[in-house]
A and B are shown apart, each in its own frame.
Chain A
Amino acid sequence: MAQIAITNRPFASDLITGLMLPDGLFVTMLGRQNINVHLSNSGASSFGASQVYIESVSSPAIAVTPRTHFIGTLTSGATTALSWTADFRDCPPGYHFVSFIVERGGTRDRVIKKIFVLGLSFDESDGSFVAETPEGVMRALFEKLSRPRHDCCCGRGTLPEPEREPPRNDRDPHCDEGKEQERRERERKRKRSTIHDLPDLFQRHEPDFLFCPPGYLPVRFRYEWTPTPPFTGTDGDLPFQDPWWKVVLCVIAVLLLIGAAIAEAVDGSGSVTVGGGTGGGVDPEDDCCGVRAGGGGTSYIAAGLVAAAAAVATLAAASDERDAFQRGRDATPPGAGEVTVSESFEMEVDYVEPVTLGKAFAVTGKWTYVRTTDKTTYTHSATDNNRNIHVTSSYEITAPEFVVRDNPDLFWIVKAKLFDADGNLFHGGNLFVQGFLVGPSGEWYRFTLQDDGLFPDDAASDGEYSGTFNFRHVKAQKGLWEYFIIAQDVNDADPDLSPQQAAQIIGGMVLTNQLTISFTEDECRFVADGHVMVV
């Protein structure tokens, strides 16, 4: 009996970098994102050719671009990844639902899945991100980021400004042109982008985009929680009843870096925009290497990987497994009759090893938890030595070195095998694997690698992920293209787990090793997985 299921929670990937967001959370600030699912045949027999579409979403503020996917026969145990684009910018934060229809031979299965949409606002006065939830207000601030010691940035203003409202043609005819130009210049300067403009700042992948973020890795960050109402006892309600503060920090790190990189490229406002205007905010520390990325596609990949590094470094410092915030709470029981009015958590991160995506790099986090009650303040400090647990022990990628663009019978097929920390093959829905192609003129293309047994994949769930790209279809420029195969883990938490248990399983971290951020070299190691000559 074949049984079709969407095994994991649907997850978000952003359209700018193409990568999955930390833990797959959807973020209003990014506007349009992809809704991705892993569709599995959990039955014992094959599931014949079917079509899959999004039927409906629980909030009218989520604008789905409808699309029906046609998929071939899924053998028993096969999993395939599907995606749809939707705009979340007006979506109220919190839990929402999406219903998917899988139709085969007139039989329809409906699968309703829960997603989480994170709503953040940016406080320009101090550069903090704020989320208001029914249980209280959370505020997070990255106070210090590491920055390349040699500022090699030449990316400022390399992108065209987004189309704005045309100026009104009602100027005073007596005003001379010079003053008018001054006025326009003043207005232009006032319109420096903020991170709230991100959905508008990014319109398409521009071949002239140069990667130039204001910082790379978090060095000091602060998280504050003001519960509504204040609570008695050791523990109060968590935002959305979910102990996910670390994920929120990861999302902010990603937003910070992607947003800053795009804003910097559009109008050179990345550092002030994301760092908090003139009010201070992020204080970069000149101590790490710099990523040298070519223009266009490579820079978008660099932006995604640096953002991914910031996310996984944050997570490593705060630890997936042992919740430092909770340990802080446990160590500071308030006195009888006292109510906790606010909590804060501050961490200083020391990178004792280079940060390589997908490797078990070590970090030291010195943290302080402060509980403020209506009568006094309690403090607990500790130092944690942690390692990144989102790792691969090794991986193999194979692809032809040449492709004949105009021959429709020759397919360029990439295959990837990835091994977990214990040397076991990842397979099927364990991973979200994507290929990124960068053309000779900075072109950027993305495709998905699947382990679903459907062409070009040979066998389902055998641990070999396969993908293909049609150079002819996009009229690809002939010449040398480079490709990156980026794998991310997936939150496969059982929906029946308690929020505390589920919070220890975090997905969306990059497992492949294309980027290393070191603290001893000038240039970061940033390498493609291979090249293909298009002839």
Chain B
Amino acid sequence: MAIEITIRDGDPWWMSPDIWVVPGNDPEGPSGVPIVGAPAFLWARVWNNGSNSVQDATVRFYWADPSTGFDRNTAHLVGTSFVSLGAGEVAETLCLQPWIPEFVNDGHECVLAEAFHVPGDPLPSTPEFNVPTDRHVAQRNLSVVLAAANGFFRFTFNVFNVTRLDRVYRMTLEPGDERQLKPMIPTLGQEFAGVTLNGKLSKGAIVEERCAAEDAAGESAALKGGLDLPISAHRKVNRTLVGKVEGGPALFHLKQWEGNRVVGGISLLVLPRNAKQEG
């Protein structure tokens, strides 16, 4: 193809290594985790895998509340940037319009970036992002969760049925591995450079109670089959994942299935707090 603009997906697809956040007032500062209410800047790595160069391709940056279901019309546009790329080139692109993260969905927001050129390589004409199938767009939906010193953690999330029909979604929690996390490390922040995923989930449960205590977490094996969530059309339900990790940091993927198809998800990097931090 003459021009093939791409922002890569991750594994799973919402863990794109090509989108990251620089918190603070310096857009060229170190990458890290955004802080609610404080400015942050979004970056994207854009590739031209085509055989022709492209001038002034548009890159749009969004944030969205993953619990509400979103598309190009409902996601929040943070800003726009432009990038010129030769054939086979890649460039890091900064969105200079600052993003002030809001406290929605218990603080779990995802960011998206899409790159395109009109008329050389336009976007599909649908409002849906179609992240896993559209190379123009990628998503980063990774939350860092600090566990207690004993490894207990709690993570509240929403699941939204964006369709006009009632649906039953299956939620599963799957362990992640270092191969999946490694591409994200350079942009997660310096403090994550030495993270080794040697932790395991010893207990876990998805419960309705937002402030569930540690004893709500049952044997982690109970999560293996997943949890069916019937949700009426255009409604959302709120659930809390409670669990306990042992042995160190761990990565999990909370996946939303519709039949045999993954329609959404979020990944959690759970970091046990050491006794000193706890104090």
Which residues of A are in contact with B by a Cβ distance under 8 Å?
51, 53-60, 64, 66-68, 97-99, 101, 103, 106, 108, 110, 112
How far, in angstroms, from A58 to B98 measured CA to CA in the complex? 7
Q: Are B97 and A59 in contact (CB under 8 A)?
A: yes
Nearest opposing residue in chain B for A64, CB measure: B82
Is residue B28 contacting chain A, with contact meaning CB distance below 8 A? Answer: yes
Tell me if B96 counts as interface (CB < 8 A to partner A).
yes
Complex Cα gap A98–B83 (Å): 14
Task: With both chains docked as a complex, state the minimum distance between the C-beta of A296 and any C-beta of chain B, in angstroms.
Answer: 32
| A53: chain B residues within 8 A (beta carbon) | 55-56, 82-84
Q: Is the CB of B97 within 8 A of A57?
A: yes
Chain B residues closer than 8 Å to A54, beta-carbon distance: 82
CB proximity of A528 to chain B, nearest CB, Å: 37
Return the chain A residue nearest B91 by Cβ.
A108
Contacts A58-B97, A66-B58 given; indicate if A112 touches B84 (C-beta within 8 A). Answer: no
CB-based closest 3 A-B pairs? A66-B56, A56-B81, A56-B96
A57→B96 contact, CB < 8 A:
yes
A59→B97 CA distance, assembly (Å): 6
By beta carbon, the residue of chain B nearest A67 is B56
Minimum CB–CB distance from B126 to chain A (whole Å) comes to 23
Binary flags per residue of B73-113, CB closer than 8 Å to A gives 1, else 0: 00001011111101001011111111000000000000000
Distance of A406 from chain B, by nearest CB (Å): 30
Considering the complex, give the chain A residue whose CB is closest to the CB of B84.
A68
Q: Are B82 and A66 in contact (CB under 8 A)?
A: yes
Min CB–CB distance A96 → chain B (angstroms): 9
Interface secondary structure of A, over-half rule: strand
- For residue A55, which residues in chain B have a CB less than 8 angstroms away from its CB? 81-83, 93-94, 96
- Interface membership of B265, Cβ < 8 A: no
A67 to B84, CA, bound (A): 9
B77 touches A68 (CB 8 A): no
Contact with A along B242-265 (1 / 0, CB 8 A): 000000000000000000000000
Contact residues of B: prevailing secondary structure: strand
Could you write out 11 A-B pairs with CB less than 8 Å apart? A51-B84, A53-B84, A55-B94, A56-B97, A66-B55, A68-B55, A97-B96, A98-B96, A101-B84, A106-B86, A112-B96
Q: Please encode chain B, from 16 to 33, with 1 for each CB lying within 8 Å of some chain A CB and 0 for all others.
A: 000000000001100000
Asked if B89 and A106 make an inter-chain contact with CB atoms under 8 angstroms apart, the answer reads yes
**Residues of chain B from 179 to 197 with CB closer than 8 A to chain A in the complex:** none
Q: Which of chain B's residues have a CB closer than 8 A to the CB of A51?
A: 55, 84
Task: With A55-B93, A108-B91, A112-B96 as known contacts, state yes or no: A60 contacts B84, CB within 8 Å.
Answer: no
B60 to chain A, nearest CB (A): 10
Chain B: CB-nearest residue to A105:
B86
Categorize the interface residue count of chain B. Answer: 20 to 34
CA distance A57 to B56 in the complex (A): 14
Known contacts A53-B55, A55-B82, A56-B79, then 16 further A-B pairs from the complex at CB < 8 Å, ordered by chain A residue: A53-B84, A54-B82, A55-B83, A55-B96, A56-B81, A56-B95, A57-B96, A60-B77, A66-B56, A67-B56, A68-B55, A68-B56, A101-B83, A106-B89, A108-B91, A110-B28
Residues in A with CB closer than 8 Å to B92 are 108
Question: What is the bound-complex CA distance between A67 and B196, given in angstroms?
Answer: 45
Q: Smallest Cβ distance from A66 to chain B, in angstroms?
A: 4
| C-alpha spacing A64/B98, complex, angstroms | 17
Chain B positions near chain A (C-beta within 8 angstroms): 27-28, 55-56, 58, 77, 79-84, 86, 89, 91-98
The answer to whether B56 touches A58, judged by C-beta atoms less than 8 angstroms apart, is: no
Q: In the complex, what's the smallest C-beta–C-beta distance from B83 to chain A, in angstroms?
A: 7
B84 touches A56 (CB 8 A): no
With a cutoff of 8 Å between Cβ atoms, the chain A residues found around residue B89 in the complex are: 106
Nearest CB in chain B to that of A55: its residue: B81
Cα(A66)–Cα(B118), bound, Å? 12
Given A56-B79, A60-B77: A103 touches B84 (CB 8 Å cut-off): yes
Determine if A56 and B82 form an interchain contact, defined as CB atoms under 8 angstroms apart. Answer: yes
A59: chain B residues at CB < 8 Å are 97
Q: Is the pair B56, A110 in contact by a Cβ cutoff of 8 Å?
A: no
Q: Which of the listed residues A54, A59, A66, A98 has the most CB atoms from chain B within 10 Å of its own CB?
A: A66
Minimum CB–CB distance for B116 against chain A, Å: 12
Query: B231 to nearest A CB, angstroms?
Result: 34
A99 adjacent to B56 (CB under 8 Å) = no
Contact A60 B56 (CB under 8 A): no
Distance in angstroms between the alpha carbons of A67 and B92 in the assembled complex:
18
CB distance from A6 to the nearest CB of B (A): 15
- Quick one: closest B residue to A106, CB to CB? B89
Docked Cα-Cα span, A450 to B93, in Å, equals 30
Chain B residues whose C-beta falls within 8 Å of the C-beta of A101 in the assembled complex: 83-84, 91
- What separation, in Å, do the CA atoms of A38 and B15 have in the docked complex? 40
B96 touches A58 (CB 8 A): yes
How far, in angstroms, from A97 to B79 measured CA to CA in the complex?
13
A-side contacts of B79, CB under 8 Å: 56, 60
Nearest chain A CB to B9 CB, angstrom units? 23
Residues of A within 8 A of B77 (CB): 60
A376 and B85 alpha carbons, distance in the complex (Å): 65
Closest approach, in angstroms, between the C-beta of A482 and any C-beta of chain B? Answer: 35
CA of A352 to CA of B235 in the docked complex: distance in angstroms?
A: 78
Chain B contacts for A58, CB-based, 8 A = 96-98
Most buried by A among B27, B79, B82, B89: B82
Shortest C-beta distance, A267 to chain B (Å), equals 36
- Return B234 CB to nearest CB of chain A, in Å: 29
Q: CA–CA, A224 to B233, complex, Å? A: 60
Tell whether, in the assembled complex, residue A112 and residue B58 are in contact, meaning their CB atoms are under 8 Å apart.
no
Shortest distance from the beta carbon of A331 to any chain B beta carbon, whole Å: 39
A60 touches which of B80, B82, B91 (Cβ 8 Å): B80
Known: A55-B81, A66-B56. A112 touches B28 (CB 8 A): yes
Q: Min CB distance, A26 to chain B, in Å? A: 16
Residues in chain B near residue A56, CB distance under 8 A: 79-82, 93-97
Chain A: which residue is nearest B26 at the CB level? Answer: A112
Task: Write out the residue numbers on chain B whose beta carbons fall within 8 Å of the beta carbon of A103.
Answer: 84, 91
A68 proximity list for chain B (CB < 8 A): 55-56, 84
Q: In the complex the two chains form, what is the Cα distance from A406 to B97 in whole Å? A: 47
Chain A residue nearest to B56 in the complex (CB) = A66
Docked pose: A47 CA to B243 CA in angstroms: 57
Specify the chain A residue showing the minimal Cβ separation from B93: A55
In the complex, what residue of chain B is closest to A70 when comparing beta carbons? B55
